Structure formats: structure tokens, C-alpha cells
């Protein structure tokens, strides 16, 4: 998978028949997927929850099954993503592979990239996302601005159109927690007005 980056250890706890706290899983993540449409982009699925408040149980591992970008309804999703360096070819022709990549992760509608977009990975989800840079450098790209980020930086991404541009020569690893949401009616109207224009 991602050369030079460590394997992620996941420890999951639960309860035995007497209510005693126990470890139910300790080891590598069972779902690690490199995207076919974006080679070098690797999703490391850690966990997800459904509903709010979520059911605290000894239920099945929610990371098994098809890869999905958004969290479940009223739920959360936590994952690491390895983002490879942008290439000249990707920046020039990447809109088509990006659209295929979003389809590959179960949310083709998230891609907003067009020929004149600031970056081929531009996308939007109706979520609040906490993005933490773990290793490497990355640039947050918005419609009208960019923010360079180094390890330890945290982005609170509130349903905005954005992309992650890796302008370095090494893979960047980020940790994301996605929280399902609904747009404020004012923002929803603004977004509908932009898409109609």
C-alpha cells in the first residue's frame, strides 16, 4: 500500500457476558482499499456509527462491506486516507478519474470538479468533517483560497466545496472523522442558487 507509512493498529473494546470490559479486536484494519481510479490513494476504514445517540453494543464490525465516502444517516465515520503527490498528468486530466474515484467510494454526486475547477479533486458532502494531518504536507483548496497544512494541523470542514492538493514529493496521511449533517436552510438556498447559475 502506501510506501513508508506505518500500518495502522486498531483496538476495539466491548463487554463479555458479565459486563466486563474486554478487547474484541487488536490488530490491522480489516478494510484497506487503494482506489483503482486514483492509484496511491488509500482508504483505511477504522469505524462508523449509525444514529444519534449511537447504540453502544458488541455489534458487528461496521467497516466490512462496500467502501462508502459519507457516514451513515445521523452517524459518523472515521478513516485514514493516504494522498499521493499530484502529478502533472493528474492536474491536467484528472477530472475524469476523480469522478470515477467518487463513484468507487459510493458517492459519485460528491464530485464537483469541472474543467475550470481549482483542483480535480473538488468535492462537497453534507457533513462536518474533522481532518487532521498525520504525516506529510497537504494544501486545503477552496473555491477562492488555499491553506498549506503540516502535521498537527486540523481542518473543520463544514460542507464546503474543497480538495486536498499534495504538492510535495511524498504521500500525505490524514485522519478524517465525518459527521452526518444537514445544511442550514440559508446555506442550502445559496448552494442551490450557485448550481442554477
Whether residue 3 lies inside any domain: the answer is no
Whether residue 1 lies inside any domain: the answer is no
Whether residue 117 lies inside any domain: the answer is yes
Structural domain tally of the chain? 1
pTM, to two decimals: 0.95
Residue 34 has pLDDT above 90, yes or no: yes
How do the residues of the chain divide into helix, strand and coil, expressed in percent and rounded to 5?
15, 35, 50
Over pLDDT 90: what percentage of the chain?
90
Phi, psi angle pair for 172, to nearest 5°: -105, 135
Whether residue 145 lies inside any domain: the answer is yes
Phi, psi angle pair for 96, to nearest 5°: -70, -40
Q: What is the mean pLDDT of residues 58-80?
A: 96
Whether residue 28 lies inside any domain: the answer is yes
What domain range is 147 assigned to?
A: 9-196
CATH of the domain at 92: 2.60.120.10
Name the helix (H) or strand (E) containing 178: strand 172-180
Dihedral sign for Cα 182, 185, 191, 193, please.
Answer: positive
Residue 163: the pLDDT is: 98
Whether residue 94 lies inside any domain: the answer is yes
Whether residue 4 lies inside any domain: the answer is no
Instruction: Place 3 in a pLDDT band, splitting at 50, 70 and 90.
Output: low
For residue 77, the tally of other CB atoms under 10 A from its CB is 23
Amino acid at each position: 500500500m502506501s510506501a513508508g507509512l506505518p500500518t495502522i493498529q486498531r483496538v476495539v473494546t466491548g463487554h463479555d457476558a458479565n459486563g466486563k470490559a474486554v478487547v474484541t479486536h487488536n490488530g490491522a484494519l480489516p478494510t484497506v482499499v487503494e482506489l483503482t481510479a486514483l492509484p496511491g490513494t488509500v482508504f483505511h476504514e477504522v469505524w462508523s456509527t449509525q444514529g444519534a445517540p449511537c447504540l453502544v453494543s458488541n455489534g458487528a464490525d461496521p467497516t466490512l462491506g462496500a467502501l462508502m465516502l459519507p457516514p451513515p444517516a445521523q452517524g459518523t465515520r472515521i478513516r485514514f486516507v493516504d494522498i499521493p503527490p499530484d502529478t502533472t498528468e493528474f492536474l491536467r486530466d484528472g477530472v475524469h478519474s476523480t469522478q470515477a474515484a467518487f463513484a468507487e467510494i459510493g458517492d459519485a454526486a460528491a464530485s464537483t470538479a469541472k474543467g475550470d475547477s481549482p483542483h480535480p479533486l473538488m468535492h462537497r458532502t453534507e457533513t462536518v468533517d474533522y481532518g487532521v494531518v498525520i504525516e506529510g504536507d497537504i494544501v486545503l483548496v477552496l473555491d477562492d483560497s488555499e491553506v498549506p497544512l503540516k502535521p498537527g494541523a486540523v481542518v473543520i470542514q463544514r460542507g464546503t466545496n474543497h480538495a486536498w492538493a499534495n504538492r510535495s514529493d511524498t504521500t500525505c496521511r490524514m485522519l478524517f472523522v465525518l459527521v452526518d449533517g444537514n445544511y442550514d436552510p440559508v446555506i442550502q438556498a445559496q448552494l442551490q442558487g450557485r448550481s442554477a447559475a
